[in-house]
Amino acid sequence: MAVSNLEYPAVRTFTAKGLATRERIVVAASSLMLEHGVDAAKLEDIQAEARVSASQLYHYFEDKSALILAVIDHQTDAVLGMHRQILVRLDSFTALQEWRDLIVASIESNQCVGGCPLGSLASGLAESDPLARAALAKSFAEWQRMLRVGLETMRDHGELRADIDAESLSLSILASVQGGLLLSQTRRDSDAVRASVDMAIAYLKTLR
Amino acid sequence: MAVSNLEYPAVRTFTAKGLATRERIVVAASSLMLEHGVDAAKLEDIQAEARVSASQLYHYFEDKSALILAVIDHQTDAVLGMHRQILVRLDSFTALQEWRDLIVASIESNQCVGGCPLGSLASGLAESDPLARAALAKSFAEWQRMLRVGLETMRDHGELRADIDAESLSLSILASVQGGLLLSQTRRDSDAVRASVDMAIAYLKTLR
């Protein structure tokens, strides 16, 4: 479920074939925007990559801004969908360690190329596209919420102290993940994200 | 001293007037690249902003790649220069708190617009420009080095345990700063960077 769909123009009703075409455009746009930057990804290149005509593209997206919001939804579904699988059952330090391993394995499987798709989109769009910035803030808020609920569950299971500030902790941990992924992307090694997430977990362990 | 100058083509020798013109071009390019993205900042716009002709611009920078490296040097000098003022005398938790306050005041004075210039450039250039990525990795390494030396000084002054891993801690703290700034930029409030740097400091306090 894409968070930003809640407040932005809903996807119109398309046929199954139409939805498949729309999805092909969004996947092509995501790929080009993350590889070359949002501005460098030209509509003509997206058309070519998705094998659609200009009129088909404009049938689904009235302008590039609409396409950018669809890319944010798409990446939000992908990234949060992956993290949700572990965060939804976060109730112990063992599960927290599994989540940490997922983050490390995910960036290592790409040789640290690309960093976090949501972080990259946020950095590239925050100053140029207010709607995109707001949509990405919502995506981060949902990611943080999943983490917060997990920390609260750990607290309720007696794995963390009763007086933890789960709101602030979840925000800090998400920042550690984002900063670690950005430094790992820039350095092309996973040491940064390993160190930063491990520090966050080590701090949580002092709150047992 | 710009870190990336150590390994990339050195600035040629220009007259004082020439250096001033070159600086005007770099400042204009920095401003446009950070506001609109590196790719969206066109050479014609940079010329107009810096009030120079195309031939003047090409006299100083043979292509956009050379200009991008100069912008990275410029922002590295600006960002690290500001942080160095406190990090160079980092020897206690009091000084560490001053550094934290500098980070928060710095982003709040911009209403959280722009995030970290080095983080934004890294996110925008890491996949499209290998030389820029390497230059930014060096900038982050120098930033981390300053922080590591400060943690080692704190350790030598008995403010931190003798067995701390200053290398890993400095990398984690830099990640907390970068992730906090990115989330604060996206959310347009300083809560994220406050929470993330405060968590890093709280963890360090468990290592006293």
Give per-residue pLDDT as tens, A131-148: 999 999 999 999 999 999
Are the beta carbons of A182 and B186 separated by less than 8 Å? no
Which residues are CB-neighbours of B93 under 8 A, at least 6 positions away? Answer: B154, B159, B201, B204, B205
Nearest to B175 among A140, A179, A188 (CB): A179
Averaged pLDDT score across all residues of chain B: 94
Residue-wise pLDDT for A75-109, tens only, equals: 999 999 999 999 999 999 999 999 999 999 999 99
Give the pLDDT confidence of B3-24 residue by residue, as tens digits: 444 444 555 678 999 999 999 9
Q: What is the pLDDT of residues B69-121, one digit of tens each?
A: 999 999 999 999 999 999 999 999 999 999 999 999 999 999 999 999 999 99
A114 contacts in B (CB within 8 Å)? 127
Lowest-confidence region among A4-13, A85-94, A101-110, B194-203: A4-13
Q: How confident is the model at residue A11 (pLDDT cuts 50, 70, 90)?
A: low
Assess contact for B192 and A143: CB atoms under 8 A.
Answer: no
**Domains parsed from chain B with CATH numbers:** 3-205 (1.10.357.10)
DSSP B139-168: HHHHHHHHHHHHHHHHHHTTSS-TT--HHH
State the count of interchain CB pairs (< 8 A) between A and B.
Answer: 170
What's the pLDDT at B191?
98
For A137, the closest of B141, B187, B199 (CB atoms) is B187
> B115: which chain A residues are within 8 Å (Cβ-Cβ)?
123, 126
Q: Which one of A40, A141, A186 has the shortest CB-CB distance to B122?
A: A186
Residues of B in contact with A169 (CB under 8 A): 195, 199
Q: What is the pLDDT of residue B124?
A: 93
Kindly list the residues from chain A whose CB atom is less than 8 angstroms away from the CB atom of residue B174.
179, 183, 192
Tell me what the pLDDT averaged over chain A comes to.
94
Cα B40 versus chain centre, distance: 21
Chain A's closest residue to B165, CA to CA, is A195
pLDDT of residue B14: 86
Chain A residues whose CB is inside 8 A of the B199 CB are 168-169, 172-173, 176, 200, 203
- pLDDT range class, residue B155, cuts 50, 70, 90: very high
Contact A200 B202 (CB under 8 A): no
pLDDT of residue B4: 47
Please say if the pLDDT value at position A1 is more than 50: no
Numbers of helices and strands, H then E, in chain B: 9, 0
ipTM of this model? Answer: 0.93
**Per-residue pLDDT, B13:** 79
CA distance B35 to chain A (A): 6
The pLDDT tens digits for A160-207 are 999 999 999 999 999 999 999 999 999 999 999 999 999 999 999 999
| pLDDT for position B11 | 56
Q: Nearest Cβ partner of B172 from A124, A199, A206?
A: A199
CB contact at 8 A, A173 and A160: no
pLDDT in tens, A111-134: 999 999 999 999 999 999 999 999
The tokens describing A31, both together, are: 């790929």
What are the CA-CA distances from residue A95 to residues A85, A89, A152, B31 (Å)? Answer: 11, 7, 14, 44
